[in-house]
Amino acid sequence: MSYQVFKAHSLAELWQIFADRPDAYPIAGGTDIIPRVNQGIEFHPLFVCLDEILELYGVVWLPDGSLQIGALSKLVELAENKRLSEYHALQQACSRVASPQIRNQATIGGNVLQENRCIYFNQSVSWRREEPCFKLGGKRCYQYTRSPQCVALFQSDVAPVLMSYHAVACWQGPRGIRQTPLAELYLDAGKKAKGTDEILIALVIPPIDGVMRSAYTRETIRGSFDFPLISCAMTFVEQDGRITQATVVIGSAGVKPQYVDDIKPLLQGKTPAEAVKLMEEVQTLATKKIAPFRDSRVDAVTRKALGKSAVKRALLQVCGQDRQ
Closest Cα partner for 227 from 118, 307, 302?
118
Residue 224 pLDDT: 78
Q: What is the percent of the chain where pLDDT is above 90?
A: 81
pTM: 0.95
Given a cut of 70, whether residue 324 has pLDDT beyond it is: no
Number of Cβ within 10 Å of residue 238's Cβ equals 18
Of residues 50 and 324, more confidently modeled: 50
| Statement: residue 212 has pLDDT above 90 | yes
pLDDT above 70 (res 323)? no
CATH of 1-55, one of 2.40.30.40, 3.30.43.10, 3.40.1710.10, 3.30.70.580: 3.30.43.10
What is the residue extent of each domain of the chain? 1-55, 56-205, 211-318
pLDDT digits (tens, 9 = 90+) for 280-302: 999 999 999 998 776 657 888 89
Of 151, 68, 160, 77, whose CA–CA distance to 111 is shortest? 160
> Averaged over 251-268, what is the pLDDT?
96
Buried-state track 17-40, b at ≥16 Cβ within 10 A, e below 16: bbeeeeebbbbbbbbbbeeebebe
Give pLDDT, residue 121. 86
Count Cβ atoms below 10 Å from residue 121 Cβ, excluding itself. 24
Cα–Cα separations (whole angstroms), residue 38 to 32, 33, 41: 11, 9, 8
- Specify burial of residue 160 (Cβ count, 10 A radius: 0-12, 13-18, 19+): buried
- Mean of pLDDT over the chain: 94
Give SS3 for 266.
Answer: helix
Domain 211-318 of CATH type 3.30.390.50: yes
On whether the 56-205 domain is CATH 3.40.50.10860, my answer is no
pLDDT band at 129 (very low <50, low <70, confident <90, very high): low
